[in-house]
Amino acid sequence: MAAANDEKMSFIKKVTVSGTLFKKSSVVMSSLAKQGSGGALQIQSNISDLETNGSTEIIQSDQSFRQPIQPDLSVSETFHHHHHHRIRPGLVVDVSAREIPNAHEETEKLAFADFTIGRTLGTGSFGRVHMVKLESTGKYYAMKVLKKSQIVKMRQIEHTINEKNILEKLNHRSLVFLLGTMQIYRFQNSVAKFYAAEVVLAFEYLHSYDIIYRDLKPENLLIDSQGHIKITDFGFAKHVPYVTYTLCGTPDYLAPEIIQSKGYGKAVDWWSLGVLIYEMLAGHPPFYDEDHFKLYEKILACKPRFASHFDPNAKDLIRRFVTPDLSKRYGNLRAGIADIKNHKWFLEIDWKVMENCAIPAPYLPPCKGEGDTSNFDQYPEDHEPYGVAGPNLYEDKFPGF
C-alpha cells in the first residue's frame, strides 16, 4: 500500500478483493475557531457506520503509511529511523491574529483523539460547529463538522475543497486561519464485532501451531469478494513455543511487554486485537501520539478513554484485552480462547457458523471477477525485469525458496 514516491497511502481506501478492511471516512471535518482570539478549526468528518451503498468518499487525504518497527533494532534506533504518522480525522483552523509561521507543520500533530468535544455552537446545511478543547494545551477552538454524504448529495464537493484550500493560505487578524483538517471514520458496533470475531478465529488457528502474528493493524486486513477478512503480511510472524524477546510491530499496537523488552508470547496478539476493536469503534487507536516516546508512555500507563457511544460490552472486552497484567488478559488465562468466545460482546455469535463463513458479511466490495484490481491504487510499473539471466546471488541465504 505504499505510494509510488514515498511510503504513502490514502487513508480512505475502497475495500475490495484483497483491498484494505477500512473503507475510511464518510465525514470530513473542517474548522476550529479559538475562542477569545478568533481562532477557528475546520473538520470535515463523517462519524458514521460502514458504508455499503458504494458511494465515493470525497476527500482522499494521503498519509504516511504506518511504519512497523523492524526486528533486531535497539529502541533508540527504532525511534530515530521510523516516523509513525497517524490519520488526522479533521481540519483545524486558527482565527488568531497572531502570526503562525509553522501552522501547516502544526496540523501534522493533530488528531481527533487530541480534542475533547463540547457543546454545539451552531448548525448549518451540511453539519455543525462544536466547542472543543485541545487537551495538550488546554486551549479552546470551534470545530466545524461536515457530513460528506450530504456534501456529495448537494454537489458541494468543489466548494468544500475550495474553502479548505483558500483558508490554508490566509493569515490575517480579521479572517479565520485554518489550522488543520481531518477525516473521521468508525464502524458500527455490529460491523466491528463481525471483523473482530473473524480475527479471533484466525488467531485461534495460528496459536494452535504456536505461531504469533505480531503485526495486527487495519492495513494488514484485507476483504475478499464475499466480504470476509484475510490477514496478510506475515513478515513479523514467528513460531514461538514459549517466549521471544524481539522488538517489532507497529507502535500503536505494541503490548507493554514488548516495549519493556520482556519475554512475551501469544498474549501480545490479544492485546493488539483489543487495540483494533477500539480503533474500529472510535476511529483512532487508544494511545495515539505522534511522538513515539509519549505513545509508549501512554501504552505503559494504559488508561484508554472511551467515548459515550462505546457499547458497554465492547468496552469491557477491550479492557480485558488491553491490560498490562498478563494474569488478567483475556486469551492468556486458564480458559484460553473460551473466555473470549463466551464474552457478552460476542454473545450472539455462533462460532461454528462464523468459522464456516456462513454469517453474511456487512460489506461486499465491488468486484467484476478474479482479475479485478480496480480497488487498488495505481503504481508506476518501474520495477526491474524479473527472471533475467545472471548469477544467483545469496541463494544459500534462502533455503527452501
Contacts with 99 (C-beta within 8 Å, 6 or more apart), sequence order: 171
Residue 135 within a domain = yes
What's residue 247's pLDDT? 92
- Do residues 176 and 246 both lie within one domain? no
E strand or H helix that includes residue 319: helix 312-321
164 and 232 together in one domain: no
Most confident of the ranges 36-40, 237-241, 303-307, 369-373: 237-241
Q: In whole angstroms, what is the distance from residue 73 CA to residue 351 CA?
A: 39
Same domain, 38 and 156: yes
- 197 and 178, same structural domain? no
Q: Which of 184, 200, 235 is the last residue of a domain?
A: 184
* Residue for grid cell 495538550: 136
Point out the domain boundary residue: 134, 166, 184. 184
Task: Give the Cα separation of 177 and 213 in Å (integer).
Answer: 45
Mean pLDDT, to the nearest integer, of 205-214?
A: 97
Residue 227 within any structural domain of the chain: yes
The verdict on residue 231 lying in a domain is yes
- Out of 61-70, 329-338, 365-374, least confident range: 61-70
- CATH number, domain at 159? 3.30.200.20
Number of domains in the chain: 2
CATH of the domain at 310: 1.10.510.10
Q: What is the arithmetic mean of pLDDT over 316-334?
A: 97
169 labelled ligand-binding: no
The residue with cell 482565527 is 95
Res. 177 pLDDT band, cuts 50 70 90: confident
Query: Residue 233 domain-assigned?
Result: yes
Same domain, 276 and 202: yes
pLDDT band at 68 (very low <50, low <70, confident <90, very high): low
Residue 46 has pLDDT above 80, yes or no: no
Q: What is the pLDDT of residues 22-41, one digit of tens each?
A: 433 444 444 344 333 333 33
Positions marked active-site: 215
Which residues span the domain enclosing 56? 24-184
- Both 30 and 72 in one domain: the answer is yes
Three-state SS string over 357-399 comes to CCCCCCCCCCCCCCCCCCCCCCCCCCCCCCCCCCCCCCHHHCC
- The pLDDT of residue 246: 93
Share the mean pLDDT of the chain.
76
Asked if 91 and 193 sit in the same domain, the reply is no
In a domain, 269, yes or no: yes
Higher-scoring residue by pLDDT: 57, 199:
199
Task: Indicate the pTM of the whole model.
Answer: 0.68
| Residue 165 and residue 35 share a domain | yes
**pLDDT surpassing 70 at residue 105:** no
Percent of the chain with pLDDT over 90: 42
Are 275 and 286 in contact by the 8 Å Cβ rule? The answer is yes
Could you report the per-residue pLDDT of 269-318, keeping only the tens digit for each? 999 999 999 999 998 899 988 889 999 999 999 999 998 889 999 999 99
**Could you tell me if residue 6 is inside a domain?**
no
368 part of a folded domain: no
Residues 125 and 209 in one domain: no
- Pick the more confident residue, 262 or 78: 262
How much is the pLDDT for 223?
93
User: Same structural domain for residues 169 and 197?
Assistant: no
For the chain, what percentages of helix, strand and coil (3-state, to nearest 5) are there?
30, 15, 55
Q: What percent of the chain has pLDDT over 70?
A: 73
Q: Are residues 224 and 176 in the same domain?
A: no
Amino acid 137: pLDDT: 86
* pLDDT value of residue 92: 45
Residues 120 and 204 in one domain: no
Domain boundary among 157, 184, 211: 184
What residues are paired with 181 via a beta bridge?
A: 91
Question: CA 340, 342, 345, 347: dihedral to nearest 10 degrees?
Answer: 150
378: in domain:
no
Model confidence pLDDT, tens digit, residues 120-135: 988 887 788 888 888 8
Other Cβ atoms less than 10 A from the Cβ of 312: the count is 10
